[in-house]
Amino acid sequence: QKADIGLIGLGVMGSNLALNIAEKGHRVAVFNRTTARTTAFAQSAGALAERIVACDTIEALAAAIRPPRPIILMVQAGKAVDEQITLLRGVLSANDIIIDAGNANFRDTVRRFSELRGSGLTFIGMGVSGGEEGARHGPSIMVGGTEDSWRRVEPVLTAISAKYEGEPCAAWLGNGGAGHFVKTIHNGIEYADMQMIAEIYGILRDGLGMPPKEIGGVFGEWNRSRLNSYLIEITATVLAADDAATGKPIVDMILDRAGQKGTGKWSVIEAQTLGIPATAIEAAVAARVLSSMKAEREAAEAAYGKLSAGSFGRDKAAILADLELALFAGKVAAYAQGFAVMDAASKEFGWGLPLPTIAKIWRAGCIIRSQFLGTIAEAFEAGGATRNLLMAPAFIAMMKEAHPSLRRMVARASEEGLPVPALSSALAYFDSYRQARGTSNLIQAQRDFFGAHGFERIDAEGAHHGPWAGEA
């Protein structure tokens, strides 16, 4: 009996996805560059092994799948994907579908589409979110490619995806690089969410002098209301955990240096290229970069002195209530930015990205899953967020309630020297966005002064110059 689908790359994500596919009743043929891993995987699959066909060559993989063959690539983004595509081109035939399920840069995906054009093969660029657990039991799946190619793989992808109240968190989002673009922005938002949570943790730790377990309790509490989300939930769990070796809270034993693999940075680059401010995401990416400069930060602390701890304020209950709302307001701004980037990209690349659907397939399975995404989907469906989420009636109401807290907490943190780069960027974005008369009249005057760039007047059409001609 031939397999329904193939999968290449048995790393953590690939093996879990293969088990998920098998569990949903599909026969899956698997291949890994190192055969030992393929063998070990098949041996460890338990009862699911009967639906797993272990292949030790790419030819065997192709032969094991019923044509037209869908094959998922779950290999490291970049060169490895191109190498596997080249190998597959030698063994596949017309109508077979190559599905790149890694965290590809959507520009690579666009290139791969054009390289495969005329080959008879179909290509899909698919974003998969949810980490190990998601891959095994139901990730959120963002598909880019032709609608026809999606129809062909829809049954298996919806079967393996997460479900939100029964609705599959898998959807076709548009042609070409649409799926990988949306996954990239998902990760950009993920960076902002994580950074803002870390900033609040910093205030609780250094401003209020709270120990990890108590901070974990606060996040656990917040997880029961408007901040309810996977990232808040795991933050509470992480903060409660002890290190097996020392018995101390594990967070206190972890070096404050965060890594990154590229998707956050790409979101920022694409936002800039599209001319959309995504400042909370930018701040989060920059914060990771700064975190990596550990030795420099140590030297700077020695030069400038250490911050005094525990002086944030006395009324702890009031501060905690403010921090919860501040985090929520920051989150609103970050999501508004992320969705604005997707909206602009959709227009630029002609994708027709379905923003409400994107919010819906992020409600379960993915890393940024939350109750809040349901609110976003409703706002888009009600048609009130045509320009920016911040203009949806429900969001206007939420921000009116929450921004004073964000303002107070950013101000207080700044006075204490506690860094809140993402939260303060979110606030600055909000304040700039809501200011009908800003200050770039002065920028225009300066540009005209030194470069005769001209400016528009508030009372007349056309380009004008100031009275400083000849003074530069």
Question: Which of 190/282 has CB closer to ligand 6PG?
Answer: 190
Task: Give the position of tokens 């990416």.
Answer: 285
Residue 401: count of CB within 10 angstroms of its CB: 13
Exactly one of 131, 356, 384, 466 binds ligand 6PG (CB under 6 A); that residue is: 131
Active site residue 471: no
Distance (Å, whole) CA 30 – CA 56: 9
Minimum distance of ligand 6PG from residue 139's CB (angstroms): 7
Total residues binding ligand 6PG (CB under 6 A)? 13
Rule CB under 6 A: say whether 263 interacts with ligand 6PG: yes
Question: Which of 131/202 has CB closer to ligand 6PG?
Answer: 131
In Å, how far are 25, 90, 169 from 32, measured between CA atoms?
A: 22, 17, 27
Minimum distance of ligand 6PG from residue 439's CB (angstroms): 35
Query: Is 375 within any annotated ligand binding site?
Result: no
Minimum distance of ligand 6PG from residue 290's CB (angstroms): 15
Helix (H) or strand (E) holding 217: helix 212-222
Query: Is 453 within any annotated ligand binding site?
Result: yes
Minimum distance of ligand 6PG from residue 56's CB (angstroms): 29
Rule CB under 6 A: say whether 78 interacts with ligand 6PG: no
Catalytic-role residue among 59, 183, 265, 378: 183
Minimum distance of ligand 6PG from residue 195's CB (angstroms): 11
The overall longest dimension of the chain from CA atoms, in Å, is 84
Query: Is 403 within any annotated ligand binding site?
Result: no
Residue 280 neighbours by CB under 8 Å, 6+ apart = 192, 195, 196, 330, 333, 334, 337, 422, 425, 426, 429
CB-side neighbour CA atoms (13 Å) of 229: 23
CA R_g for the chain: 25
Query: Is 32 within any annotated ligand binding site?
Result: yes
Question: Which of 268/367 has CB closer to ligand 6PG?
Answer: 367
Rule CB under 6 A: say whether 142 interacts with ligand 6PG: no
Query: Is 103 within any annotated ligand binding site?
Result: yes
Residue 244 neighbours by CB under 8 Å, 6+ apart = none
Exactly one of 367, 373, 390, 420 binds ligand 6PG (CB under 6 A); that residue is: 367
Rule CB under 6 A: say whether 264 interacts with ligand 6PG: yes
Query: Is 157 within any annotated ligand binding site?
Result: no
What single string gives the DSSP state of each residue in 249-300?
BGGGGS-S-----SHHHHHHHHHHHHT---HHHHHHHHHHHHHT-HHHHHHH
| Type of residue numbered 146 | T
Q: Are 381 and 373 in contact (CB under 8 A)?
A: no
Using CB under 6 A as the binding rule, the residues of this chain from 268 to 287 that contact ligand 6PG are none
Active site residue 190: yes
Helix 263-274 to helix 279-291 angle (10° resolution) is 140
Minimum distance of ligand 6PG from residue 74's CB (angstroms): 12
DSSP helix/strand/coil, 343: helix
Interacting stretch for ligand 6PG, rule CB under 6 A, among 40-48, 87-95, 255-263, 437-445? 255-263
Catalytic-role residue among 147, 165, 167, 190: 190
Exactly one of 151, 257, 261, 464 binds ligand 6PG (CB under 6 A); that residue is: 261
DSSP helix/strand/coil, 53: strand
| Residues linked to residue 164 through DSSP beta bridges, in sequence order | 167
Rule CB under 6 A: say whether 402 interacts with ligand 6PG: no
Which residue is closest to ligand 6PG by CB? Answer: 129
Using CB under 6 A as the binding rule, the residues of this chain from 172 to 191 that contact ligand 6PG are 187, 190
Query: What tokens were used for 145?
Result: 């490619």
Query: Is 130 within any annotated ligand binding site?
Result: yes
DSSP helix/strand/coil, 174: strand
- Cβ-in-10-Å burial (0-12, 13-18, 19+) of 147 comes to exposed
Rule CB under 6 A: say whether 11 interacts with ligand 6PG: no
Query: Is 12 within any annotated ligand binding site?
Result: yes
Q: Are 238 and 232 in contact (CB under 8 A)?
A: no
Rule CB under 6 A: say whether 370 interacts with ligand 6PG: no
Minimum distance of ligand 6PG from residue 367's CB (angstroms): 4
Binding mask 101-130 for ligand 6PG (x = CB under 6 A): --x-------------------------xx
Q: Binding-site residues for substrate, please?
A: 103, 129-131, 186-187, 191, 261, 288, 447, 453
Active site residues per annotation: 183, 190
Footprint of ligand 6PG on this chain (CB under 6 A)?
103, 129-131, 187, 190, 259-261, 263-264, 366-367
